[in-house]
């Protein structure tokens, strides 16, 4: 096997990461391999056994320089000056066939100097969940890290539930630079390192940025669009800490994430999110807060800090309106509108209010809206709304196709993901593979997979997700 590594992050030198080889596992077995992604990355693959060795960390491909990256972060609002890769190592970077630099990281690869009290491992459940959800997000057209491979390790991992099968996920990202990466150096008042990581991030992701302010505004723009995309598909990240907020604007860290079934804007799944900090509709507020933390970390780079604070404050204050605009674009398209205006907002809001009263499934309601889905149609006020909508649509062309291209028929429904994990723990990966395959075509009706489009039966509803990853 050979990977065309070119490891720019490792070249930054000490202080940004520590050398850390993956810790070998007992009996690696390849569960899943993303061949199209491997081809895009320009990797030469080997036999299943060789791949199990490499993607478990037992064997290193030539040119790999495994490191654990340093970062800090605000977790649920409280600052931790030192987090870092506690259960992951970056094998290295490749420049893919389209010329994009991509990180290849093993997650669940054993303890590192940043592990604190953790075991450095992952169990099969979160590995399968991240594989399914990140690939589904990609297929839906939402910026995200990708899943390249999953292996089982043959070792047990101990969590609250008891002994569980261990696994390793190979994750591919535009980079693993996070808001928390800047915070790490800002918190240490290490200006030289902060400047170095700023220049690195700028050159890698925003080469057109001339100043830290430009960089901040570019990241704000990407994050505003990203969160609006999440809202559009009912995605709840669950742990939007600043260490889980990518500078490249990708969705990263699929821990207790979930998809809303019935429309309710305050939905929370994560068992540790007691106050709903990361509830569905609070994500738009939290991302602004996270960007304010990024701004704070950039201030020391500026010669005139008072005027920098004014400039950055303006950028942060402009973000809510930017998210609003992205939201209107996303939800406008969901009801077929090509250029939604502020006046269209009430049409969308009124639909969502009807959906909330009727307690209907978020995903299927939008997918089936042109057919007036029965559970929504019985809501008082739907007919009136529908007349307004039809009148508005009479000014649109191709609205059906527009709706079909943004309203998925298939999302990784929580109960289906749980079902795939349960079967996987029992050694049966057929449900995982079937779900993965169907989710690779989310906007195409697939009658043979109609069961995977159904909302959960009452006894199947997932009400809580866990961070015990």
Find the binder of ligand AMP among 244, 282, 364, 414 (CB under 6 A): 244
What is the nearest approach in angstroms of Mg ion to the Cβ of residue 112? Answer: 13
| Using rule CB under 5 A, residue 56 touches Mg ion | no
**CB neighbour list of residue 150: distance below 8 Å, 6 or more residues apart:** 30, 31, 32, 55, 127, 128, 131, 167, 168, 169, 170
| Using rule CB under 6 A, residue 239 touches ligand AMP | yes
Find the binder of ligand AMP among 31, 38, 43, 85 (CB under 6 A): 85
| Using rule CB under 5 A, residue 273 touches Mg ion | no
Q: Cα separations (Å) of 112 from 18, 21, 82, 124?
A: 9, 9, 13, 20
Strand partners, 178: 246
Count of residues binding ligand AMP (CB under 6 A)?
Answer: 17
Contact letters for Mg ion, residues 216-245 (x by CB under 5 A): ----------------------------x-
Q: CA nearest 130: which of 236, 270, 254?
A: 254
Question: Interacting stretch for Mg ion, rule CB under 5 A, among 53-61, 220-228, 252-260, 414-422?
Answer: 252-260
Q: Return the residues of window 117-146 that contact ligand AMP according to CB under 6 A.
A: 118-121
Find the binder of ligand AMP among 30, 64, 83, 348 (CB under 6 A): 83
Based on the number of CB atoms within 10 Å of its own CB, is 355 exposed (0-12), middle (13-18) or buried (19 or more)? buried
Active site residue 261: no
Alpha-carbon distance of 74 to 117, in angstroms, equals 19
Q: Which two tokens stand for residue 212?
A: 């830290």
Q: Which residue's Cβ lies closest to ligand AMP?
A: 118
User: Hunting for tokens 């093993």 — which residue is that?
Assistant: 106
Q: CA nearest 301: which of 185, 175, 180?
A: 185
| Using rule CB under 6 A, residue 92 touches ligand AMP | no
Which of 243, 253, 261, 361 is catalytic? The answer is 243
CA-CA-CA-CA torsion sign (245, 251, 254, 258): positive
What is the nearest approach in angstroms of ligand AMP to the Cβ of residue 400? Answer: 40
Q: Which DSSP state fits 24?
A: P
Find the binder of Mg ion among 93, 250, 253, 361 (CB under 5 A): 253
Residue 83's binding partner, choosing from ligand AMP, Mg ion, none, with beta-carbon cut-off 5 to 8 A by kind?
ligand AMP
Alpha-carbon distance of 258 to 48, in angstroms, equals 31
Q: CA nearest 465: which of 177, 125, 167, 155?
A: 125
Alpha-carbon distance of 15 to 405, in angstroms, equals 45
Alpha-carbon distance of 93 to 443, in angstroms, equals 32
Question: Interacting stretch for ligand AMP, rule CB under 6 A, among 238-246, 299-307, 336-344, 395-403?
Answer: 238-246
Find the binder of ligand AMP among 87, 102, 129, 138 (CB under 6 A): 87
Contact letters for ligand AMP, residues 99-118 (x by CB under 6 A): ---------------xx--x
- Give residues in contact with Mg ion (CB under 5 A): 244, 253
Active site residues: 243
Which stretches of the chain bind ligand AMP, using CB under 6 A? 83-87, 114-115, 118-121, 239, 243-244, 253, 255, 469
């Amino acid at each position: 096997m050979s990977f065309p590594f070119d490891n720019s992050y490792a070249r930054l030198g000490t202080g940004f990461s520590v050398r850390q080889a993956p810790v070998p596992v007992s009996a690696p077995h390849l569960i899943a391999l993303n061949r199209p992604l491997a081809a895009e990355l320009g990797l030469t693959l080997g036999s299943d056994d060789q791949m199990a060795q490499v993607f478990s960390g037992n064997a290193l491909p030539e040119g790999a320089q495994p490191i654990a990256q340093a970062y800090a972060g605000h977790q649920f609002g409280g600052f931790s000056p030192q987090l870092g890769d506690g259960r992951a190592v970056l094998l290295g970077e490749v420049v893919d066939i389209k010329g994009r630099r991509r990180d290849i990281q093993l997650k669940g690869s054993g303890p590192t100097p940043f592990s604190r009290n953790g075991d450095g491992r992952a169990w099969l459940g979160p590995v399968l969940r991240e594989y399914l959800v990140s690939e589904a997000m990609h297929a839906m057209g939402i910026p995200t890290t990708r899943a390249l491979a999953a292996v089982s390790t043959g070792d047990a991992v101990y969590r609250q539930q008891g002994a569980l099968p261990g696994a390793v996920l190979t994750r591919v990202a535009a980079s693993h630079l996070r808001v928390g990466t800047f915070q790490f150096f800002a918190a240490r008042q290490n200006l030289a390192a902060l400047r170095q990581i700023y220049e690195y991030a700028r050159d890698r992701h925003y080469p057109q940025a001339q100043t830290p302010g430009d960089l901040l505004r570019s990241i704000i723009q990407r994050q505003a669009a990203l969160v609006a995309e999440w809202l559009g598909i009912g995605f709840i990240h669950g742990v939007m800490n600043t260490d889980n907020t990518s500078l490249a604007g990708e969705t990263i860290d699929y821990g207790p994430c979930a998809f809303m079934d019935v429309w309710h804007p305050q939905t929370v799944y994560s068992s540790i999110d007691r106050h709903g900090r990361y509830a569905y509709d609070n994500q738009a507020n939290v991302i602004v807060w996270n960007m304010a933390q990024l701004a704070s970390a950039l201030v020391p780079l500026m010669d005139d800090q008072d005027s920098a604070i004014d400039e950055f404050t303006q950028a942060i204050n402009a973000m809510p309106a930017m998210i609003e605009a992205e939201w209107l674009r996303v939800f406008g398209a969901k009801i077929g509108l090509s250029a939604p205006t502020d006046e269209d907002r009430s049409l969308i809001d009124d639909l969502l209010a009807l959906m909330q009263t009727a307690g209907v499934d978020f995903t299927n309601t939008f997918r089936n809206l042109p057919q007036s889905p029965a559970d929504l149609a019985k809501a008082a006020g739907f007919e009136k709304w529908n007349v307004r909508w039809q009148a508005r649509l009479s000014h649109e062309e191709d609205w059906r196709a527009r709706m079909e291209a943004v309203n998925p028929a298939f999302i990784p429904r929580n109960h289906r993901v749980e079902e795939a994990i349960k079967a996987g723990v029992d050694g049966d990966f057929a449900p995982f593979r079937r779900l993965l395959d169907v989710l690779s075509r989310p906007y195409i009706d697939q009658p043979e997979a109609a069961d995977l489009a159904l909302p959960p039966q009452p006894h199947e509803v997932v009400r809580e997700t866990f961070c015990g990853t």
